[in-house]
Structure 1
């Protein structure tokens, strides 16, 4: 899937090397907003760091790739969303996402996440989808709750942020619970 039209305002486009400059600029100009909950921000110091990330995603064979998408809102860069740590044996994947500050509060991530859930169940054959959010990141945790994910508990010290570990809330959604729209 190269592009996925979520609705009249939101489009997802498969991440490409040509997006690296825009992604880095978005991270760099939203650093204070993003780094509270996203540990990769502190390690993204130059455009080359973003280029290396993009290459790590796009250079993998399609059959092994965790697809990452640029989120476009009314034609403007809004953030990234994608699958990660896909387990093709057990048919499960995780969805991760982030938005730049000025794009928050518009329902973008809720709609984009729903589109990826639908695609994972209908086209990728997944059975289980996971979303992890830092404990206290209420805006991020509202997404899986809004979409009907089940809260499973906390992963203690599940993610390292600035030389400390934070706990993560774990949400899951099973194919048998899903109803495509």
Structure 2
């Protein structure tokens, strides 16, 4: 499809933020003021922050960004705080390659809005827009190895570290060659994250030991290797909890939750649980889930108690 014909959101709301395109002339004042205020923190990493920009330069840049958005060459958004409508920073999809298609995320924050999780929140929203609305297959974050804040953002956004490119770029001040770290997030990663969220919810349901959930979410060929070493079928599990009439009022805690796709429609979930009434009872767990007729069912589960010496 011709990118010019794509319908792309110009305003996005998240839990705490509003992302919108820089469409108003007065936006330049707030951008310029933020750059000047944050210059010491931005200067080591960004070419445009080597000296305080004039308001005219910022306005020219804003207009070019607005044009690029509508020409589908780049997608820049202002980050605003919902509660106060204060300007927080900039986040954008740049270096768009429609052949793949792919793009690179760029971002910066006004210094007094850092360490609030705003870039992570805005980044999640922009990744969703990139994949769901632009149809991107790949989104990259590139940063210098010693830019610890950008590396942390990439990791919080679940981007995978892919490469260390040596002497790949010019430093922000133009005086030396710098290395580049490349992180990437793909459409497949987004799909896996959505599966992970669903499976996490289903595992949580099963751990409450609600009888209806057990009947619907356990496959007929379900097998469990319990923490005691016993082997259980679906019938064994249902009979046991039906007899015991156990449904936990306090939720079992789940941590270290991961999901891995083994084949189309088959995933493995691994995680750790802690009992609500016995804080010292930890177990490592692994489940296999199968998607059939649109629904996920667990067909294998194994639990292993964790020795307190390993905690």
- With the length of structure 2 as denominator, give the TM-score of the two structures: 0.55
Query: Does residue 10 of structure 2 align to residue 2 of structure 1?
Result: yes
Aligned counterpart for 1:134 among listed residues 123, 140, 144 = 144
In structure 1, the residue matched to 2:181 is 169
Greater CA radius of gyration, 1 or 2? 2
In structure 2, the residue matched to 1:109 is 119
Instruction: List runs of 5+ in structure 2 lacking aligned partners.
Output: 1-8, 198-311
Q: CA RMSD in A?
A: 1.7
**1 CA distance for matches of 2:134 and 2:87?**
26
Query: Does residue 101 of structure 2 align to residue 91 of structure 1?
Result: yes
Query: Does residue 62 of structure 2 align to residue 54 of structure 1?
Result: yes
Instruction: List runs of 5+ in structure 1 lacking aligned partners.
Output: none
3-state SS of paired residue (2:68): coil
**2 CA distance for matches of 1:56 and 1:155?**
30
**2 CA distance for matches of 1:174 and 1:61?**
22
- For residues 17-45 of structure 1, the C-alpha deviation after alignment (integer angstroms, 9 at most, x for no partner) is 42111101110121112112112111553
Query: Does residue 33 of structure 2 align to residue 21 of structure 1?
Result: no
- With the length of structure 1 as denominator, give the TM-score of the two structures: 0.92
Aligned counterpart for 2:170 among listed residues 159, 166, 179 = 159
Question: How far off its partner does 1:159 sit?
Answer: 3.5
2:69–2:76 CA contact under 8 A, matched in 1 = no
User: After superposition, where does 1:115-126 map in structure 2 within 5 Å?
Assistant: 115-126=125-136
3-state SS of paired residue (1:29): helix
Q: How many residues align?
A: 180
